[in-house]
Every structure is written in structure tokens, then in C-alpha cells.
Amino acid sequence: MSLKPASDALDEGALRALVPRVLAALVRSGEDFDAAEDALQEALIEALRTWPEHPPRDPRAWLAAVARRRLVDARRSEAARRRREEEAPADPAPVPGAQPAGDDTLFLLFLCCHPELSPASQVALTLRAVGGLTTREIADAFYVPEATMAQRISRAKRALRGQRFERPGDLAVVLRVLYLIYAAGHADRVELTEEAIRLARQLTLATDEPEARGLLALMLLNHARLPARYDDAGRIVPLDRQDRSLWDEREIAEGVRVLQSALAVQTDERPPGRYQIEAAIAALHADAPSADETDWPQILSWYDELVALSADPVREDPAAVLGRAIAVGHALGSAAGLRETGRLRDVLGERHRWHAARGYLHALAGDPRAAAEAYSEAAGRATNVAERNHLVREAARLRSEARAAT
């Protein structure tokens, strides 16, 4: 549903932020996920009707109380229909360790990553329940029809129906889904990226796992560059042309500190995981005063560790192999980088990022004509409007350079 400001003191963002926290508290107290979400939606409708004239002192408590009343009413109606009203409990039995007070959003995140769900359903349900996205927004984020995403979310809810959440998702799944929430908001949903960072902070307090700190560091280091990623006209600015004075130095410093604390506890028997390695690469980019001063040999070394995490990286982690090809192009020469991209032709040859990487490497080699052709091919395959426009501009710029050189 579309949320409008309920009062002068509560804007849309504030109301959205309340939804996952109230939903988490309801589920933690033993309510069925689907029923709790329906009750909360009814409470929101009631809020939109009454809050403009009678804003509550504690909006979160108000929503929780109304939703609980709706749940009790629903149970009583169902009991009456089945002639067993006397057996319907007035209040659900609490889950062990339940804490009505406080922020239960992290708990909700683990529930959405329940092992009964498929990875796609875990992501979709998390974006819906924790991120507060509508079904259409989630569908747009993953380039699938809205009806397809609605079915996916409905299946996830059915799978959770009656579950007591005695087996929440494991930490590795939670980390992956949390990063996908961050990635889904990185382009134009800043509130999603900030929520992902907030949850990652909570996660580092709840576990000693270094990968949780690695994920937080990666988010912080990427988020620090966000102000420079687009120009005033909303056009993408590639990393090597960004105004580094716009980068958030405080976030970079925090990200580096968090990363160092994670790497400090690693050993030969327990090497850094994916998020720590990706954060280390991001930290090296952030540390460079200019693009020309980037420590590409060190970045290549980290990419070597990243691809080594997979038995068959070309098929299991082609994005890492493609990133490594760029590092190879800078550290060992563009021709070597282009050869590396050749390994991915069968896996990524139909994707725009493969052609864009080759365009970048051809430009690095001083071949603007080949670079323009590759960027043009990439633009024809891109589905994101901002990326497609950027690739079209790159192709035009390089064609101009090629004409000037003849």
C-alpha cells in the first residue's frame, strides 16, 4: 500500500521504518507471519484514517496494539465459525527469549532467511518485510514481472505458515540477503542502503563472525563513494572519473577500521571470506588519492584470493573473474586483461557487463574504435536505463576520439 504522511510529526520514511519493527515484534511473540502482516496492514489503514487528527504519542506502540487487536479479533471470528471459541487463546504463547521491547528487525531478518525457503524467496520476503518495498518495487529491482514476484512472495508466506521459527536461517544466508538488500537500494533507494547498514551494525554486535564485520566494512566503503557516483544531471560517473573530494572520509575511515578488526582475527587455517576480500579491494580504491595512484597489483592479489574461494570460478563466480580481468589489465597490461575476459565468453558473452569490461580494456589499450564497438554492444544489452545511457555516451565519446585520431 502507498504510505502517506500520517501527521506533521510523522513522514512517510518514519512510517515505513516502523513497519518491519512492528511486524518483527508480532512474529517474535508467536504470531503467524502472514496473519501478522495482514493485521499490520489493517492497522496502517486505521492509522492513515485517525492519525491526522489524533496523532499517537508512541506510533510504534499504537500500531502494535491495533495489530494485536486485529489478530485477536481474527482468531475469535475463526473460533466462532468453528464453534470452538472457548479454545481460542486470547494471547499467543511467546517464543522463548522474546523481548517485546526494543528493535526486533534483526530477528525478522533471520526469520525471512528461514531454511524452508528458496534463496529467491528469502530475498523477496526480506525486501518486503524488512526493506518495506512493495511487490512492484521488488519486481523492478530484479527485472521480473510483478505477477511473478507476487507469486514468489505468496509461496514464501505459505511455506512459513504455521512455522514456529525454531530453525532460522544461518548466518551465511543472512549476510548474503542483507547485502542484496543493500545492492537493491544502491542506485536510487538510499533508505534501503541505510537500513542494510544499520542491520549490519546490529549483526556485528550479535556475532563475532569476521565475515559480518567484512560485510559492514564493504557496505560502508561502497556507500562512502555514493555522493560521487552520479553527476548533477543524474548521469553515472565511473570510478576512475569520480570527484574523490565528494567521498565520505568518515565512512571510509570507519569501514577501514571495521575491516582491520575482521582481518586481525584471521589465520592460515581460517582465511578471509568473500566480504572481507571485497572490502579490502574497496579499501584500496578508497585509499588511492587519484585513479592513477591505485595499487592495482595489490588489488589483483586480493582478486586472486577471491576467485580461489570457488572450485570453478568461471562458472560459479564469473563476476569476480570479470573484476579480476580489469585488475589484470591494469597490473599486467590490457592485452592480458582482454585474454582473461575471453575465459568468460561462454558464461557472460550475452551480458552487457562483459562487453562493457572489454570496452574499458580496449580503451585502456588505446584502441578507441574497438572500445566504442564494445560499449555500443553493451548498451544494446543493458536493461537499466542509467547504465544504458552511460554506455551510449561512452561509445559516442570513443567514436569521436577514433575519428580525431584518423
Q: For the segment 352-403, what is each residue's pLDDT rounded down to a tens digit?
A: 999 999 999 999 999 999 999 999 999 999 988 889 999 999 999 999 999 9
How many C-beta atoms lie closer than 10 Å to residue 265's C-beta?
A: 12
Cell of 316: 560459479
Do residues 37 and 161 touch, judged by C-beta distance below 8 A?
Answer: no
Do residues 130 and 181 touch, judged by C-beta distance below 8 A?
Answer: yes
CATH class (in words) of the domain with range 307-406:
mainly alpha
Global pTM value = 0.74
For residue 278, what pLDDT is reported?
A: 97
Q: Which residues contact 183 (CB under 8 A, 6 or more apart)?
A: none
Q: Which residues of the chain have pLDDT under 50?
A: 1-10, 83-102
* Alpha helix positions (H), 264-384: 274-287, 296-307, 313-316, 318-332, 334-342, 345-348, 352-364, 368-381
For residue 165, what pLDDT is reported?
A: 54
For residue 93, what pLDDT is reported?
A: 35
In whole angstroms, what is the distance from residue 144 CA to residue 395 CA?
28
For residue 78, what pLDDT is reported?
A: 58
Smallest CA-to-CA distance from 250 within 224, 215, 278, 230 is with 224
Task: Give backbone dihedrals phi and psi of 188, rounded to 5 degrees, phi first.
Answer: -145, 15
Segment 221-235, tens digit of pLDDT: 999 999 999 999 989
For residue 300, what pLDDT is reported?
A: 97
Smallest CA-to-CA distance from 96 within 28, 179, 148, 157 is with 28
